[in-house]
Amino acid sequence: MVIKYGGNAMKSPELRRAVAAEIAALRDQYLPVVVHGGGPFIERELTARGLSSEFRNGLRVTPPQLMDVVEMALCALNKRLSQEVRGAVGLMGRDSELLRAEVLDPALGRVGRVTGVNAGLLRTLLGAGITPVLGCVAVGPDGEALNINADTAAGAVAGALGEGIIFLTDVDGVYRHYPDPESRAAQLSRAEVEEGIAAGWIAGGMIPKVRAALDALDLGAPFATVASGMTAGVLAAAVRGEAGTRITP
Ligand SMILES: Nc1ncnc2c1ncn2[C@@H]1O[C@H](COP(=O)(O)OP(=O)(O)O)[C@@H](O)[C@H]1O
Ligand SMILES: CC(=O)N[C@@H](CCC(=O)OP(=O)(O)O)C(=O)O
């Protein structure tokens, strides 16, 4: 299964250690692949350099000089995460063309649209008992880096592997009345997701998550769930359908 680990749910080392232990515990039953983001870590690196960025439709506008900082921040985080998860190997999407992409829209700079996943290499690693931890920087046709939203990257990996996906974030799932956790939807159909986006109750960073979930389901992923990476035992519960919001076709 694919676990998308979002930057907002990895702010403290304690949280990361708890999630890392849960991922390692899954290895007895499942073959986990971790795809991670790291928005807050990118922000910190940009700020330290006196740089800033803007988002359009949830995507960071990434001119080439910002791309260098994004890649550096995500590479450093990738090493930290892969060392925290027992039996993991950290890789970026650029390694062995694990993630191939093309420029999505020149107006967004080095932001990519995924065109291919090296699923063979991921399966080889899984077959050898290794847990791949994958950072969301892809290789473009020119061999240079492209910045991929981590939800999109994770959805593409789940689709390519035909595996289920759990998006770990900083809320318990998709709320019908954000920010009221009591309003968490246990399940949402495609039609409900589209209605939520159109009506505005699914907004901001939740939009790429639900869209990536639907894309993964379209490509054959057996399930796609959004759940909290801040709650103990969440992965096992989400697999059983007892935590988070399951997106259904
Ligand atoms: N309907 C909703 N239910 C829950 N969260 C929502 C909803 N609409 C928007 N959000 C926002 O989406 C955020 C999660 O996305 P994001 O910040 O991109 O997280 P991550 O770093 O894990 O990818 C939540 O913290 C919340 O602010
Ligand atoms: C194109 C684009 O927006 N890329 C994201 C990649 C990181 C990410 O998605 O991190 P989270 O999962 O923590 O949000 C960015 O630059 O922030």
Residues 125-147 pLDDT 10s: 999 999 999 999 999 999 999 99
H or E, element range at 36: strand 33-36
Q: Which residues are catalytic?
A: 4, 7, 39, 151, 209
Angle at 20 between CA 15 and CA 25, to 5 degrees: 130
What are the phi and psi torsion angles at 209 (to 5°)?
Answer: -65, -50
Residue 163 CA to residue 223 CA, distance in Å, equals 8
Confirm or reject: Cβ of 6 under 6 Å from ligand 2. yes
Band of pLDDT at residue 116, cut at 50, 70 and 90: very high
CATH of the domain at 118: 3.40.1160.10
Annotated ligand binding at 38? The verdict is yes
- Choose which residue among 5, 42, 92 to substitute to test ligand 2 binding: the one with the highest number of ligand atoms within 8 A of its C-beta: 42
Across the range 48-73, mean pLDDT stands at 96
| Three-state secondary structure call for residue 164 | coil
Per-residue tokens: 56: 């359009």
Across the range 68-96, mean pLDDT stands at 97
Band of pLDDT at residue 11, cut at 50, 70 and 90: confident
Confirm or reject: Cβ of 136 under 6 Å from ligand 2. yes
Per-residue tokens: 164: 């289920």
Q: pLDDT at residue 57 above 90? A: no
Residues 17-50 pLDDT 10s: 999 999 999 988 999 999 999 999 999 999 999 9
Given this model, what pLDDT does residue 146 score?
98
Residues 6+ apart with CB under 8 A from 101: 93, 112, 113, 114, 115, 138, 139, 140, 146, 148
Given this model, what pLDDT does residue 8 score?
92
Percent residues over pLDDT 70 in the chain? 100
Look at the chain and report how many structural domains it folds into: 1
Which structural domain, as residue segments, surrounds residue 148? 2-248
Annotated ligand binding at 147? The verdict is yes
How much is the ipTM here?
0.98
Given this model, what pLDDT does residue 217 score?
97
- Choose which residue among 35, 147, 165 to substitute to test ligand 2 binding: the one with the highest number of ligand atoms within 8 A of its C-beta: 147
Confirm or reject: Cβ of 146 under 6 Å from ligand 2. no
Report the atom number in ligand 2 closest to the C-alpha of 36.
12
Q: pLDDT at residue 185 above 90? A: yes
CB 224 within 8 A of CB 164: yes
What are the phi and psi torsion angles at 31 (to 5°)?
Answer: -110, 95
